[in-house]
Amino acid sequence: MKAAFIYTEEYQKYDYGHDHPLQVIRLKLTYELLKAYGIFEKEGIEVLEPEPATDEDIALFHSIDYINVLKGIDSGIHPSNLLNYGLGWGDNPVFKGIYEGSLLVSGASLQAARMVESCEVPVAFNIAGGLHHAMAGRASGFCYFNDPAIAIADMVKMGKRVLYVDIDAHHGDGVQQAFYDTDRVMTISLHESGRYLFPGTGDCTETGEGKGKGYSVNLPFYPSTGDDVFLNGFYEVVLPLAKAFSPDILVTQLGTDSLKGDPLTHLELTNRGFSMMVNEFKNMGYPWVALGGGGYNIINVARAWAIAFSIMAGIELPDALPEEWKRFLKSKGLKGPDRLRDNPSEKKDRTEEDWAEKGIEFIKKNIFPVHGI
């Protein structure tokens, strides 16, 4: 296989609610767009049904107490202290299927990781994954189980060294916390500054502790940062650290809420800039586990992830969007642009550049020497 795409219509059953920012239809929109392009009919491309994780898998990162709370909710048991687990309020509503759906998403990421680790496929993409905010004992930021942390912990258990790169607009705080004190995992998060955006973390000074000192890397950006500045940070920080760390496995969180027009964030990347980073991930040549993540402009999500998977599969997609997909959008009461790719971004003033340069300078001074750069 050239690339595996892990997807199931079962994802649509686990709905956060009509008014919630995280709309699961974005997953189906992505699948339908790729299907309309005919990419799943190409040689070497496989669409695979996910296999649910087990409690034992989930316990690689999460506490048994927290797992049992989510399991109980599916059985109709709602403890009085839900808020202690980050549950039952706007970001993290409770609903029947919360545990079952979370097992399915986490299982898909584990499946992707195990396929890549065993060399069945060079890259596997679980678009439902990338739920990077969940902590060991609580939900956070729309995330119930932290599938990246679970999948990475599974690979570390098998003796692998893992590089995790997160380009979601929000800081990958849950994954960072999971591996903050180890040198077996390097976490790199490029995100909008926590001064302006949830979860309020991800400053450059968060660099790890103990054996992990220098293995947690954060580059926060000023609101309105676009392609040029974000990509410069990517090239200056991610590429040299990836080469120096030389991991066994690459895991990427490809949140699309860093794109211009997202209703919850303030960055202004285009999917052209996004695709340039995806190309760089492919060019690294490491076995690659690709995960989804944030993204609340659902048309942007589908277009960006379709481009991402086409790069993984080595297939160039035409810029004109398929009429079949446009009809599908119309049937759902949705409308989008006629083109797959965004226009190039416009240059901004120096505020974004100056802000990013300070972060890059800090990383080069404090992180690079740890890795002999």
The 3-state DSSP class for residue 187 equals strand
Q: Is 170 a catalytic residue?
A: no
Distance CA 256, CA 251 (A): 16
Instruction: Give the single-character DSSP code of 236.
Output: I
Name every residue whose Cβ is closer than 8 Å to that of residue 117 and which is 6 or more positions away in sequence.
Answer: 155, 158, 160, 249, 287
CB half-sphere exposure, 77, CA atoms < 13 A: 9
Question: 219: number of CA atoms within 13 Å, CB side?
Answer: 31
How many whole angstroms from its chain centre is CA 349?
A: 29
101 and 14 Cβ atoms separated by less than 8 Å:
yes
d(CA 156, CA 110): 12
From 62, 133, 171, 191, the catalytic residue: 133
CB atoms within 10 A of CB 313: 23
Residues 6 or more apart whose CB falls under 8 angstroms from that of 293 comprise 129, 130, 131, 132, 166, 168, 253, 254, 255, 256, 257
Give CA separation, 312 vs 105, 124, 254, in Å: 20, 8, 13
Q: How far apart are CA 10 and CA 101, in angstroms?
A: 8
**What is the rounded CA–CA span in Å between residue 319 and residue 308?**
14
Cα separations (Å) of 31 from 309, 315, 326? 10, 16, 13
Residues 6+ apart with CB under 8 A from 164: 148, 152, 172, 175, 179, 185, 186, 187, 188, 251, 252, 253
Mention every residue, 6+ apart, whose C-beta is less than 8 A from residue 68: none
Distance between terminal CA atoms of the chain? 35
Catalytic residues: 133
